[in-house]
Structure formats: C-alpha cells, structure tokens
Structure 1
Amino acid sequence: MLPLQCARTTLSKSWDTQRTVTHEDSLRIAPPTNIRAMSTMPSPEHQRIALPRPSFNSARSRDLPPAFSRMAGQVFALIVGIDKYQAGNIWNLDAAVDDARSIERWLTSDLQVPRDHICTLLDAQATKRNIEERFVSHLLNNSAIEPGDAIIVYFAGHGSSIRAPPGWFDRGRGDVSVLCTYDYDTKLPKGQTNAGISDRSLHAMLQDLARAKGDNITLILDTCFSLPTTSNDDPKERRFTRFTPTRKATSEDLLAGLWSTATPHKAEPVASRGFTGVSSDSHVVLAACSSGWAATERKDGGNFTRALLALKDARPLHKFTYADLPAELAPYMGDHQYAACAGMNVDRLLFDGVPFVPDTRYISVSTHDHEHVQVDAGEMQGITVGTEFAIYPHNRRGSLNSSTGIYVATLVFATWCLAKPKSSGKQMVREGWARVTRWNNQTPFRVDVKYSLFSFFRRNRLAAKIPSNAVDLAEKNGVGVLRAKSAKSADLSVKVKSKELLVERRDALIPANCQSILHIPSAETRTDLKAIEAAARFNMHLYRKQPSRPFAGKGARRSWTRRPRTRSMRSSSTTTRMSTSGRTSRTWTRVVTAYPWSTTQILLPPAPHSVDTPTW
C-alpha cells in the first residue's frame, strides 16, 4: 500500500483540489451500489471497457447521478429591473429593482448559476438600445451557450400599450402591449418617440434566440399592460400597479422601433394579442397576470415575484411543470391577481430541469427491514459504525429538500451499510437520499490557531468556531476538528492574514512528500473554516483503514510512473470488464486513479457467492 499512500499525500495548491478520495469523490469514482448488482459488461474479446450501468429501478431513474445521465446543462439569464424612469410623466416604482436583485440572488445562491452567466440591467442601464444590445451579446451571440441550456429573460417594471397600426391584427385596431424601458416615451435623436419593446418584437427576438440556442427559453414578466377596469387611471391605483399610460409614442413609433426580424404588417388573430396570447414553440412565458388584469407591488416586492420566491422556499420546484405554476402561486398572490402561463412547451419541467441536477453528495437509501434502511455507502467511502446521516426526499440541487430525519450507521460493509433512526419512535422512511452529517472519526483533527496582530478579531472568531474540548466536539457536525493547545500537538497550524490563510501541515507524511506550507486565499472566517474542514476530511481519509479487509487477496493493483508535460488535477474513473469461462460470467471492477505523477489501478473482483455471503 506504500505507493498508493505516498501518492495520496501529495497535494497541490488548495485543499479543494488536493484532498484524497473523500466521501463525495468516492461516489464520483464508482456508483454506490453493491458490487453484486453491477450490470453485465462486454466480454474481453471485444477489447474494450465500458462504463458500468447502475441498477436503479425505473421509478427513480430521474434521480440518476450525473455520471449516468446526460451532461448537465448551464443556465444563462438577462435580468431587467426598472424603478425610476427618464420620462417625467411616468410614475416611478418602488420594488422592481429589488425584484431583479432577488431573482439574481436566487439564481446564484440556490441554482448555483455563475455570476458571469447573468447580465443584470437596472434603472438607467435598461434603455431600449442597451437591452437589445445585451440580448444579442450576452445571449444570441454567446458562444458559451449550447442548445439545451436554460435561458431566462426576466423583466420587472412598467408595461403599457400603444394603438396598433393598421393591419397589425386580422380585424380591428386594438392596442399593442409593450415593455417600458428606462427611456420609454421620450424623444429619440431622429425626432421619433421611444415606443419600448412590443410583444411582437420580443417574440421575434426569442424566436431568433431559439433557432440559435434551442427552445429551453423562459420569459418571466412581472408587469401588466392595463389598469384594473374599476379604477381607470386613478393615481392611487398607479402607485401600486406596474402599468403606465402612453402619452407620446404612436403607432408609427411602434413600427419604427420593431426588432429587425419582426414582421410589421402580419395580421395576427385577436386571440394572439399580448405577451401571453401567443402560444409559441420558441419559449414559455410566465407572467404576473393575463391581459386585462393588473400586476401590483408593495414595498417588499412585486406580488408575482414575491410569490415565486415564496414558492421556491416552500415547495420543491424541480417537480413542477410550467403549467403547474399558476395554481401553485395562487395561495401566495391573493385573490386580486392570478399568474399566467403560455407556450407550446408548458408541460415541460421548469427550465426543462436543467438547474435541478442530481447532487453527488447524496447517497441512495432504500428500506431494509422494519428497523433499518440500507445506505449505498460503506467502508470504502469512510463510513463507520456511528456515522450519522440526514435523510432527504430527493437529491436535486436548487430545489427545497428538507431532512426527514437523522439516521445512525449500525452495521457497515464494504460498499453499503445499515442505519436506523437516531431518535426512537421516529417513523421509518421507505426510500430517499442520505447525506453524511457527522463523520465518526475516533481521532479528532487538531488545529492550532496562531495569534495574529493584523487580523486579531478574525482570528478570535475562527478560534471560537473550533471546539476546544470533547463536550463541544460531540455537538458539532462534519469531521471532528479540535483546537490544539500548542503547535506541537497539532495536525495543522493556521495563521490568519489580511487576505489569506497561512497553513502549515504538520502531519508526519506531508513534509517527506510535498510542500508543507500553503498560502490559501481567504478574507473571511467562513472560507477559513472551509479550508480547515477540507484539510480534516483529507486527513481522515488518508489514515482510515478497513479492518475487515473485504478484498484482501482477491484483487490486483498495478502502478506506473509517468512524466506529463503539465501538472493537472488527479482524476478517477471506474470501468468494468466481464471475464467468461465456460458458462460462468464474472464481472470485475477496475478503479483507476490518475495523479499528475503516477497512475494506480485497483481491480476489484465480483462478490463471492457462497453460504458465508449474507443476502440483504
């Protein structure tokens, strides 16, 4: 085991990339299933190795780990929020900008959308020209967006209407719904008036986008295009309604400001009027209300946006289709406003499910008997008797996932374990997903927090977060970390500086194999703790052993050294090969761990079928 152990101790520049096979990593290396349940693979004479196929039942096929589903897509968004308008005759709003920022926080915090995937335009930034230019640069011509990626266009602000030009509709004139940009109803340099972005223009924009990037496009509108019929143009209603009447812009201005691919004189049927009247195959519209209704706001946000964010905090969004949302939002919006949904793809899951990818930190759980559940992780993943799990109903990121109980491992095998509720009388779960909340490492990881004159208060906050005695340690989740009394008794010494954490690894194996001093970028206590917790996980997996040695004498390992041109991160993969002898088929699992300096293969045999092998 010496070559593998030495390879494990070599680290790169940060704890996130230098740690060895942790619980999360091990689930990426191999599916947490009993080896006996692995699928049959092609025979050796084909001279190829295929990835293992998990034996999950069809009822849970939607929760497959990412390794066995299609590559997860990305999310891109254009967000517009306007409170203050350039035209003096437009009543300013109070909460549209806050709504836009709240949507941005939802995307970045809950759905883990990178900030550079989001373009946010607020108030004076949200001119008609700027919105259209950023639509082209950030979405239409963005080479990072691939077909199938989720694209969100969000608008919060005033809506309005302009008299339709002749021939716009199949019969009658009527009004055209428009989104009021920051410079709406103001004079343009050529003497025309800014007529905003009409429904026909925006539909044409989204059709162009769908042809280039696919039809996973969601248009979210927290605005309206008329006042309540009972109030007409009452200023009191205007104060809380996201509608403004048009004073200057005319139908000629509307035609002059059309998107380049929009048809000026296409006669649309009356039923297709407005943003929610067109059932397009290019996108789905989620709107604060239908035509003829009003969208209102309060100081804490628009009624529709506030309801949408309340729903995501109360219900798991990954289960909903677009068509489900109006009814689901109704209890949060009151009886004066009802959300609308339109498009040919309204039966799809929200954002086509792209942000709600499976989270590999969760482990499959199934019923074993009336007292225990089976968790598909065992000694190979660092599970020991006493390890605690929180059980969840699903394994999707970005969707509400409340724990249904805490379970404790009572019997641990190589690749799976049995667990029972920590609290007596707790109702048993039949199936779900588990996540380790407390590793039962018998020897705590000891950390010495050195004094620092430059970051005195931050150092004290960090020291206070690390338990100093066994009683406090027992109440902490995660890996057991204890504050050492001196550097001599510590596994790790840290010193807080203004913009970094100076880390000295004092483990006996470290100095002989790699650099012992690291400078980790960090400017706050939260990131300091994350670095220490990552170091503790690395140390736990580095020294953990499997007393039962389930594969002792039954496997084979092969190692070799290589000299790559560039140092890269360690990568791991799992493959299986079936050996056939007569009528007997045996499936072997090969775990390949590739480091920048060497590659290690471990060949795991099929589980023996004998009377000594328990069947669970």
Structure 2
Amino acid sequence: MAVPLSKVNVFALIIGINNYHSRDDFGTLQGAVNDARTFEKFLLDPHDKRGLGVPRSNVLTIEDRKATRANILAAFKAHLLDNKAIPDHGDATMILFYAGHGSRIEAPGNWGTTDGKVEAICPVDERTTDAAGNYVHTIPDYVLAWLLRDLAQKKGPNITVILDSCHSGGMGRDVGQARNARSLSPFVPLELDSHLWSDKTSTAAAYSMWEPGADSHVLLAACRQEETAREIRYTDKSVHGRFTERLIFHLRRAPLGTTTYAELLNMFPEWSGQTPHCGGARKDRLVFDWNYPATGRSALPLTIIKAPGVQPKTVAGRGEPKDPDEAPLLVDSYSIDMGTVEGVVPGTEFEARAADNTLLGSLTARSVHMSHSILSASDPFHAPVIPPGSRAAVSDWNNHAIVLHVYAPRDFPHLADLFPTGSTDGTRRRKYVQAPSREEAQIALRAADKPGEVLVERLTSTFLEYSPTVRFALADQAKCVHLPNVVDGIAHFNYFLERRHGADPLPGVTLAVHRLEGEVPGRRPDRRYGDDGNLVVNHEVRLLSEPDAQVWYGFTIRNEGPEDLFAYLFYFDPDMYTITRWHAPAGARVYPPLKHGGGTITVGMGSEAAYRFSLPQGQHASSGFLKVFVSSKYLDLDWIQQRRSPFHPDFRGTQRLEMIKERLPEMPKWDAFCVALTMTDGELGRHGGAGLEGGSSGEETGLAADAKREAETDIWYVPSLC
C-alpha cells in the first residue's frame, strides 16, 4: 500500500474541459472531464483507499462551460492566492491540475523561445466573444507562470502543476485522440494581462512554466513539446488521458513518503510519440512535499542491471509498477546517473543506502560513460542486497583531476581540522588533499589579519588575472568543523569552472551580450548599441555606468557548428564560490534546441528574466565567469549548481539527484567554454586594477548575487579565457 502523506494541508484547483464553444477550432474530447474527476477522487479518498484524504473544502473543480478564461483566472486567485485557509509563507501543498486542449501562440517580440512561439492552455470560451463583446484569448504559459510565482512568494513554493494537454500543431497518426487545438491561437495582446506585472520589477525567477529551474513549482506534463498527449478508451469503456490514467495508478501505489517527482515519472512505460515530462528545481523532492528523501540530497537512485539467467526488476521505479513489499533481488550490477561529466572514473566508490538511510554496503564504478556509470559490489564475495527505493552516494572519488591541492603553512591555526591524521570515512569523501608546498598547490590558506577570518589565495592562472584572493569568516573558531566543507565547495567550484572536454570538442558555439529594450514579456536587444545589438567587440564588452537608469541585459548562444545541440549557461561567482544556472533546456521534452548552422538560443529576453549588475559595497572591481556547456544529448546539469556559498555556516555540499534515463547506444558528445566578466566603478586605475581582494562573512554580496539589481559600474567581458 502507498505511504500516505503526513499532513492533509493540501489545496487543489482542478480543471477539465471536453466540450469547447468553438468546435471548428477544438475537437470534442471524451476523457478530460473524467481525468479531472479521477484526480479529484484520488485527493478526496481516505488513506485506506490509497487516497490523500484531502478535505472536500480544499478542492475546487471546474468543468466544461464553467471553465472560461475569466473563471479560471478568478478561481486561481480566490482558491489559492487569496485563500485565507492557506497559511502565508507556509508548507501547504498546492496543486493545479488541467486536462483539455493546449495550443501555441506567437511569442511577444519573437524573443525568448527557440521557434518564436510560447505554449498555452485553452479555456472553454477561447476564440469566442464574452458577454461584453470582447474576444477571448488563450492563457499563455507566461501568464500562469506569473501567477505561480506570486503564489509561491505569498504561500510558499510547494506547488505542483499537472498538465494533460499538448501543444503541437499537427495531428498524430498513432493510437488515441490528441489534445491540441487544430491551429495556433491568435496573438495575445501584451496589455491583456499586463496588470499581473505592472508596478513590479523582474527578478531572477523565470516567467515560463516549462523553465527547468523554476523555483515556484514542479511541472508534470503529458508529453514533449513536439509530441501529442493522447486519450484512450480502456477495457472498461471509460475514456481517460493516457498520462492521467498512469499518474493516478502510480500515485495510489507508490510510497509517496520516499518517492520523488522525478522517480514517479520514471515509473511510466515508454509510449511512441508521447514522453511524459518532469521539470522544476524541486523535482528531486518528495511528491507533494518539499523535503528531500531520507538518504539526502547527494544520493541517486540505482537501477538494477539484469544478471545472466535472472529476470530484471527495478530498484528505484523503472518500467511498470512493482509491489513495494516484494522481496529484493540480488544482481551483479547497477546503473547510476553519474558519469564522466561529474568526475566519476573507474574505481570511484559509492555507499548504497536503503530508503530509510540504512547503510547497505559499498559499490564501485566499473564502467563509466558521459552521463551514467555501471557499478558492482566492491567485494564480490559479500555483495549487498539492494531493496527497492535504494540510492547511492559517492564515498571516495578516486579521481586525481577532481581533487583540489591545498597548501596551508604549519602555523595555520586550523591545520588539524583541515587535514586530520589517520584515515576516516569523512576524509575519504573529501575533494581535496594537502599540497606539500605553495608551488604544488591550487589554493593556499592562511589566517587573515582579522581574528576568525581565513584568507584564500587562488594560485591558478584563471584566478590570478582577475580575483587572486578572497577572505571569509569561520562560523565556529573554537571547533572548526565547517572548514572542510568550505574547501570541498571550493574544489567543486574550481573543478567545473576549469572543466572542458578536450578530446572531442564541439566547435562553433559563441556567446553574445545585449543591452535590452522593451518590457516583459517583450524584451529584446536594443540594436542601437553595439553591432546590431551585439556588444561584443574584439572579445570584449564595456558597459558604462548608469546609476539612475534601469538597464537590463540578455544573452544569445549561437551555434555555427554542424550538429544540433543542447546548451546550458552558468554563472560562477568567485567572491562567493557560488554557481548559478542561468539557462538550461526544458528537460527531455524537447529535441536539441540549439540548431546547427547559425541557430540561436536567447537568455533573459522575451518573457524570461533579464539581468542587471552591481558591485558589492566598498569594492571598486569584481569578476565573475560565464560558462557555456553544450552536448549532443540532453543532460540534467542542475547538480552543478552551488547556490549557497560554501562560506555560509549551513553549507553542507552540493546536491545531485536526477531521474533515471534510458541507456542509448550512441556515444554523445559534450564540450564547454568559459568567459570572464569584470566589473569596475571607473576608479579601477586608481585602486590597483582588477583582481582586488574579495571578502565575505557568509552573506551573498558578490557580482552574481546582485544580478537582479541596477547596474552601477562598467563591465568588461572577455571570452574564452579558460
């Protein structure tokens, strides 16, 4: 039986539409209302019937003729955003479920998307006129995203969005009926929903429901961008969306207390032409909850690989559902979604843990690929039994390239904390080793003049030119248990800043910077600045300080190479040692969006959040790095992020959780390049140039942390320096 949620503080808005007013534009569906009612029943059923036991007053369902554009938006506001029963800034679970037709519209300004279009859900009265004679438009995804952002800020970010619809303009030829409009929806005037963002400034949040790193919600969608969501007539004569039927099936059977969103969707079977999608920064948290599994944020699901003569079964939810109480199966090997990109090498050791975090035993990487590795028992004569729901985390990297060489003088007061004598489990997990001299080190640590502070000297060429030193305050001077975590965070930062695939590079990818004009959702490059809007001249961009103006910036990634690619953009802040993802593909739901032969992807334009910069108070210069990763295959690279500074006393390391993916026979390629960005206040020449010492007491004050505030300085942008 499924493990019930430990709380009934769940609120849901459910929408199901079969019969649209404009039948020339929308085919009549048979299963969308059934889906809405089935999902409602799952919420209301008590735990002994494998439901959530949600109070009836917490669920609002809108069907068919009542699901007008005005009613949907009003219901979201009344039942969720302004509902006094939902505590402000709390942990209530909020769910938006939609089953019906989807569509696409021309993107405002044709920026911020790969094909100039954005997705939308279709209210029942779309393409008709209301009682006042006004034309009724679709509901674009950026409108829903703004509402979800407001809901997350007011009530909390424990929000799940479930969409059983599709947006492709073509009709499929395989099984079932497609849930998509017969043509694109008409362009939505910007002023129609402008009241949502008037008197508000942009933030680092993205204004698209499909944004892979959206912090406001987790999205469960029925299919990829170019695919179709199907509804099927089942053997009991009922009609349901294929996605919703499987979703309810698994929700009623999966142990929700130990199952993440990504693992839930991984339980789905493979369908031709329909691939369910899971997106959002919180997809690796427990379903309808905001906690991580008991095994922690750094552990990954294990997939059992069939041993000769043994029937395969699934540890972490692959393929069709299994009885959670079935006996575990002993097999030879396991697959885990960490590979060469993460730094795994043959010989990397992992700890296997059960769902309750009980230690099961040790596994070792035997075969390592770009995005996954094959593990087997470290001791084949004492192989651990791995039950369902188990995960594994690295216990010893055994990789010299990922290890940071750290020098500290003998009089460094925390030398024993940093390099304890003897081998322990803790030291084996560290990403650094002691360097015998400064000449052999990548960083050097020494006590700063101010008591309780440590000075970090960066000794590699990447840092020496821009930011050679930084200092931070220790959280506990008497017993410095935090210092090893700090150095681990620095090692993580350095490794991925310097990471580049030199064996088989992917040429022809560049990054451009733009000053923007216009307002959300129509921001675009201001072509009065630079070469047709491109500010890069001779590998450099220099921006003049405009303290009294709100100047926003965006980026374009261009691919002049011979093959389509997936592209990722990260910002590395060396003052705080934070890594922030600024762009990633919308999961496995899309085909490679960065097309070959001049294809582009824009970041911070259209309906996306733009960027502006400022210096930390008291500093005359600061540097940062933009890093572009590209790959011929989709990769979930969110684990690269280090959003909390290692200097923060609560820093415990980076997370790494992702859904298990099918193993494909081809050998995908990847590559990366780095650009440096230096900011000055115009006083640079009088204060010793770039590379001034940074400082931190645990507060986020670096260049990246200020990316959403006014530009107050000049900026230099120098590509391809690392």
Q: Which has the higher contact order (CA 8 A, sep 6+)?
A: 1
Which structure: greater helix fraction? 1
TM norm. shorter chain > 0.5: no
TM range (shorter): 0.3 to 0.5
Larger Rg: 1
Q: State the TM-score, normalizing by the size of structure 2.
A: 0.36
